[in-house]
Chain A
Amino acid sequence: MPSLKDIRKRIASVKSTQQITKAMKMVAAAKLRRAQENITAARPYADKMREVIGSLSIRVNPHHHPLLVKREVKRREILMITSDRGLCGGYNQNIIREVTHLLRDTEEGVEVQLNIVGRKGLDYFKRRDYPIRKEYKNILGDTDYKAAAEVGKDIVAAYEADELDELIMVYNHFRSAISQVVTVQKLLPIEPIPVPEDAVVTEYIYEPSESAILNQLLPRYVQVQIYRAMLEALASEFGARMTAMESATNNASEMIDRLTLEMNRARQAAITKELMEIVGGAEALK
């Protein structure tokens, strides 16, 4: 049985761990709020963009722009978004597992390369020698549009240069602070977005021209999608971390309770023992 002193030491150490997890939980909660605000702020643009692409794509011949052309898939790329830091529960593991499945289920004769955002995913796949085409570290911190645009530009350029035939994005979709859903989204080629039946189909006049508009709009669309995914991923990360730290804090509380009980028992045992000794000593003197 551990001595009183040992138990006290353990309680102190668990307590200080608990303080840290508690602080991390609060920080994650504060950051989560900001990340959520960012998502809300970015939504009108992304939605509007989708609407416009939707209404353009039903009118435009897909062969008018390389990003709309479906090719036979020989080289696939996966863009995965993970976090730069750990201590966020199963957040990264879920993404990595999904990507591993995708890699395992790859059809015969299809080459797959990875584009990885976030240090955690990078560490994992680098160690296992998977072909990585691009890596991005520390760009998620305070995600701004420029960072997402860089990623988007790089991929669109590679696609237009015929270096890949398909792009799939894997990220955590933010549903709520306690629920994040791993999402697999095909980003390239851009597929026509189904428009609601009752949508009014209007014929536009284009300026400067239809193809010039597509040239600008489609790459931008890819960037916006990546930007949105990054914001979702970031909010998910904070949500996951908050939940993980919450349960760590609770576990610590439980542990402290158990240890306190054990400590009290040990103390009581020591007192009883002492009493017995005194009584025994008094008996002996009679």
Chain B
Amino acid sequence: MADKSFHLEIVTPRRLVLSEKVDEITAPGELGEFGVLPGHIPFFSTLGIGEVMYRQGEKKRYVAVSWGFAEILADKVTILAEIAELDTEIDVERAKRKKEIAEEKLKTLGADHKDYLKVKASLDKAMTRMIVAGRRM
């Protein structure tokens, strides 16, 4: 039987976050989530804010990422993210605080305000972090 796993690398400007053999991933593409199984055709996508799931055997792990790119090749996936945090690394308290601050700000800003998208993004980031942290075993 052929080797059904592929290599996943997640790097940020600060460090190499993850480099492991995995069997399946899903990632938050800017146009929507996509899944990758071994033998995927070459594919290049931008990433939004969200969680990357990777499966090794029966075990699923999660990584919170914001902005970046994913290069998908048949036997290798590389994710270049601006921020990437493993579920075990997330500071839940900080994410909660950020979420509250962002929610407060959003109440006062109109949808056409120039900072609206920025604040919205920071809210999304905080929410993602909390979701990912919640998945930790």
Contacts and interface: CB of A to CB of B under 8 A. Distances in A.
Interface residues of B, number: 23
B44 A206 contact: yes
Given A48-B80, A207-B31, A208-B31, A41 B15 contact: yes
Contacts of B16: 41, 44-45
B46 A212 contact: yes
A145 B13 contact: yes
Contact of A41 (B9, B14, B31, B42): B14
B42 A213 contact: no
Contacts of A205: 41-44
B13 A206 contact: no
A184 B41 CA distance: 39
A84 to B, nearest CB: 22
A259 B8 CA distance: 64
Which DSSP category, helix, strand, loop or mixed, fits chain B's interface? strand
A213 B69 contact: yes
B71 interface: yes
Nearest to A46: B13
A204 B42 contact: yes
Contact of B80 (A41, A42, A49): A49
B45 A206 contact: yes
A216 B80 contact: no
Contacts of A52: 44, 69, 71, 78, 80
A3 interface: no
A41 B13 CA distance: 8
B14 A42 contact: yes
Contact of A45 (B12, B31, B34, B71): B12
Interface string B68-110: 0101010000101010000000000000000000000000000
A173 B78 CA distance: 27
A44 B11 contact: yes
Given A45-B80, A48-B78, A52-B71, A207 B13 contact: no
Interface of B: 9, 11-16, 29-31, 34, 41-46, 69, 71, 73, 78, 80, 82
